[in-house]
Structure 1
Amino acid sequence: MHAMRVELEAVVNELKRWRDAGEDAVYLEPGTLDAVRAKVAELRAAAPDEALPENQARDTSPAFEAASSESRGSLRPRIKQNADVIKDFLQQSDSPSTAPKKKVAKKGAAKAGQGLPPGVKEIPSPTPFELPEGDKQARWNWLRDHVLGDPVCQEHLRPSKQVVFGVGNLDADIFFCGEAPGEDEEMQGEPFVGKAGQLLNKIISAMGVSREQTYIGNIMNWRPEHDKPFGNRAPVEAEINYCLPYLIGQLEIVQPKVIVALGLTAANGLLGFDPERRMGKVRGQWLEFSGVPLIITYHPSYLLRNQANSAKRLVWEDILLAMAKVGLPISEKQQGYFKG
């Protein structure tokens, strides 16, 4: 039972990672949910007394029942299913029919309300600070030193890894805001230097400018810890809230004309967490953060997983909007990228 639970949790974490990277749906073969439901029922019968979180019950929501009906009756070879419905099913459908026992927190677990993995120390509220007077470079140098030396940032680093601070032109018109550092970023101490960063560089080049002419930062300053030997974890709200003042400080220094938020995690950090927010609904719309026009688009890692021209076109349409907003020239060739 424990082994299956670990596997199911791994599936849930992977779905969360996909969602936070911009995916708003996954594909399932017909009958997959029924197969999982049957397996969970079998395991529950084998261990009916296992304690589970309180207030868990089988999902009987219209969205779930409709999805299950579609998966059984569709004539298509695959169905499109919202990832959150699958997550809710995996978390709720294996609750016992009898009243659950009280869940006992494991020793060393972080505060449950923050949603951190076991063993990760609780994130405190951010400490207020004020940028010093001076020119942009002096203020940026002070803020960078302040962030790199931040004891909370340092405390959550992996051994021999680095805090990641923004880079770029302090007079940039466009401020790219990413999510959290990955493995390559925490090694080099710079945002967007891995495969997703290489793709972002190509996008910036296609705009007719260089990476050095823009400013690139992240919503988080360290790579979120987790207990898996590979992969990344999306930061929780408490982690983002701690780092958000540092992002605001960079915006105050750079004073860009446009913020381009890359991915749903960045969007949630800038707009406030909303479980109903989906990339497909918020991308391509002009919003605002801290008085600066904001546009949201898919993270470059989404394009690494989805090579279709239709996906590339969606991102490029958002980039064209940002280019027009800051007055960058747009050629007919650029207008036609990824059409057809």
Structure 2
Amino acid sequence: MPRPNPARRRASSPEPVNIALTEFTGSFDNPGALRMLNFVPAGLPDTAPLVVVLHGCTQTAAGYDAGSGWSTLAERHGFALLFPEQTRANNPNTCFNWFESSDIRRGSGEAASIANAVAAMVAHHRLDSARVFVTGLSAGGAMASVMLATYPDVFAGGAVIAGLPFGAAHGVPEAMQAMARPTETSPRLLGNRVRAASTFTGPWPIVSVWHGDVDRTVSVRNGDAVALQWADVHGATRDGDVWRNAAGVAVVEMVTVDGMGHGTPIDGLDGSAAAPFMLDVGIGSSARIAAFWGLAAAAAPRAHAPHKAEPRPQPANPHKHPKFDVTGLIHDTLRSAGLMK
């Protein structure tokens, strides 16, 4: 398993701001009332790819970009970026509402806003509609799961970082339970949730899943569930750290970072920078994800040995589990659900 240097896991500096992002001025229906920003490198050719980036709770689009380095990668490898941004009017902690039924259905709420903005962005900048991808952290990761499930015809691939599988919760109480102590669900039932979210029959998006194994905000078992959900949808077979389809193509990967808590793993290279929930553990997830999608050449990480992606057994008494401080867990969960500052 990748093992971070504990001395470099967190930063005390304020969230960085990236001034490269600008308001997206294209016209689109916005039922979820989200703000949209974008970054289009100068001289970007027609039919370039598009990556949609979803920030986590308490973050901004610009702050997440500055921490994750996506605009640097876009400049280097030639693709456009769309950054949906949550508003405090929608959620007091700026979490995407991945647990609200009205926001996670095709054609409704925040999911529809993102899909409509993608269509407008593709048309406005003459991008390649067959190479659109989505990634996100935490609530943004859970919302990336929503987008992949409800609009699989729009996205060629996705990446879920410290997020949850599609359909994990409907309403705040279920969200709290799913984040902290997810209910064991079979891969087939997980896959059925995706298949029921649209009339699409494939080819399905490829999915990269990232999670820290000591994440106290969103249990790492949620990362396992995301991988198993999409492996079932693809009918893929596990091959070490990836799942391959019948043609032998890797369609799902799972990277579990040993000793890492809640956040996006970065390596301080390629424009990434440590900040709250942007954890410099020597592993640049943004570049690795772009390579998995085929948008960039694979780069050798400073440390990499993905954990197995099988469901983890649940302890008989969660209150006695050594990795869980119940009071702290409740507070973290309330903050991530947007119910506590």
Q: Same fold (TM over 0.5)?
A: no
TM-score scaled by length of structure 2 = 0.36
TM-score computed with the length of structure 1 as normaliser: 0.36
Q: Which has the higher contact order (CA 8 A, sep 6+)?
A: 2
Which structure has greater helix proportion? 1
Structure with greater strand share of residues: 2
